[in-house]
Chains A and B, each alone.
Chain A
């Protein structure tokens, strides 16, 4: 158990709909990251928040948005869903925002999204 909690574990929704994925980081971690894992694209970084502020942006679509709340939990909002958005979405957390010893990134178990 990494200590990163994600909900829901599984979600099936229709095209055009909007969903929200939720993440609670490990206790004490200020950074939250969102990753998308699909068969054809592998693990892709979407976005990072540190202590409530957006820190880095990756391959995140404009239809997707995220935020980190004062209690440090984060939500990833996916709207106007398309079939190709079906994937495993991971949240990860770390203590700080930089690199180096002690700032290990821990992953949650992921949220399976199926768009039909």
Chain B
């Protein structure tokens, strides 16, 4: 089946540092989404990307839909303690309707 390779698996950074994580796939996706999950909660959508090359920001978060449609990255600038959580990339394939294929997640810990 379709697989998304998400890296890094985890990060432990100093408050104020910038963070970068990415997802790659051998499949071409029509949509890339980035979610954040905190303990005891469901995934919450951070950014949605619908066009190849699209660069979208949401506050301190910036994400891009790769030109090849096979990758995406998420950057978090000036990290703060509440950024802690698990970040998931997810892709959608047109031929599979609206089904989301998720990456394994990046665990982010912030040291204050």
Q: Which residues of B contact A56 (CB under 8 A)?
A: 96-99
A105 → B minimal CB distance (Å): 6
Q: Which residues of A contact B30 (CB under 8 A)?
A: 99
Is the CB–CB distance between B97 and A98 below 8 Å? yes
Q: Give the size category of B's interface with A.
A: 20 to 34
B103 → A minimal CB distance (Å): 8
Which chain A residues numbered 44 to 96 have a C-beta less than 8 Å away from chain B? 44-45, 48, 55-56, 58, 90, 92, 94, 96
Given contacts A48-B99, A105-B100, contact A43 B43 (CB under 8 A): yes
Given contacts A43-B88, A100-B31, contact A105 B41 (CB under 8 A): no
Q: Size of chain A's interface in residues, with CB distance under 8 A?
A: 30
B25 → A minimal CB distance (Å): 14
B44-73 to A contact mask, C-beta < 8 Å, 1/0: 110010100000000000000000000000
In addition to A48-B98, A101-B50, A109-B40, 6 A-B residue pairs with Cβ atoms within 8 Å of each other are: A4-B42, A56-B96, A97-B97, A98-B97, A99-B92, A110-B42
